[in-house]
Amino acid sequence: MKNITNIAKEAYSMFYKRVDHRTDGWILMGSPWASIAIIALYFYMTKSAGPRFMRKRDAFSLDYVLKAYYILQILACAYLANSLLSAGWGWHYKIFCEPVDYSMKPMALKHARAVYFYYILKIVDLLDTMFLILRKKYRKVTWLHLYQHAGMVMIGWIWARYFAGGHGTLTVLFNCLAQMCMYLHYLMTSLRPKLKENMWWKKYLQRLYVFQFVLLLLHGSTVFLVRNCKYSRIATIILLFQNGILLLFFINYLWQDRIKKKKFY
């Protein structure tokens, strides 16, 4: 009971007193309501307005648009991964318990900007679903897809506003690396459609995502195991919940799409 009370107090303190003032004045950082509005508009466009708009229209090709989008995503993820590595994970961050550095030191600010850029990138990622709607690929707009995109926007805002650095940003780094692989896969198959006939690497890409979630769950749990760890337990619980839900959703997706349908790779 005492631990629950302490966590509740930490949550109250976090949302009302522990704002990272380095992000004051940054676009969309003043309040969570802008992010909530973006998510609400996203669900409206994907579940209502988008399908109604396409009802009597042919699917758009978007071939060149998608190629450009994939290249921009790969470059953005590469830039972000490099920023996180150079700002801490590549040289001085502790792997098991790294508190957030809220100072104005150059490396701390670089890490904060990287987390903010990640949040903006998660908003841009919502275009993934818009492109699926415009191409009438409704089957791919699953609840896993919607939850992952919407959830990452909200978590991205929380991280940029409260935890712009430290232990939890390993999730950002791993996600960027996985996203790079995914968009590279999309780009390759869009440039050479014949590759879709024998995508031998797809099973490894799927395993990479599962490995990512499992590793991040284990890494997040170390906050509770390291004595006197000063990284927020509230932040850790949010991370564990999000990665756990995504892992379950993804395993269920693989079960439905691979095992149940007898499609092995």
Rg of the chain over all Cα atoms, to the nearest angstrom: 20
Question: What is residue 45's predicted lDDT score, i.e. its pLDDT?
Answer: 96
> Which tokens belong to 183?
């968009």
**pTM for the whole structure:** 0.88
Question: How many helices (DSSP H) and strands (DSSP E) are in the chain?
Answer: 10, 0
Query: What confidence tens digit (pLDDT) does each residue in 90-114 have?
Result: 778 888 888 999 999 999 999 999 9
Is 1 a residue whose pLDDT tops 60? no
Query: What confidence tens digit (pLDDT) does each residue in 12-69 have?
Result: 665 667 788 899 999 999 889 999 999 999 999 999 999 999 999 999 999 999 999 9
34: which residues sit within 8 A by CB, 6+ positions away? Answer: 28
Q: CB–CB of 120/35 below 8 Å?
A: no
Query: What confidence tens digit (pLDDT) does each residue in 198-257 have?
Result: 777 777 888 888 888 999 999 999 999 888 888 988 889 999 999 998 888 888 877 776
Instruction: Report the alpha-carbon angle 153-155-156, nearest 5.
Output: 60
C-alpha dihedral, 133 to 155 to 74 to 25, nearest 10°: 110
For residue 234, give the H/E element and its range.
helix 233-254
Report the interhelical angle of 33-44 vs 143-162 (nearest 10°).
170
Amino acid at 85: L
CA 242/CA 150 separation, integer angstroms: 11
Q: 2 falls in which pLDDT band (50, 70, 90)?
A: low
> What does the mean pLDDT of the chain come to?
88
Domain boundaries, the chain: 61-259
1 versus 214: the higher-pLDDT residue is: 214
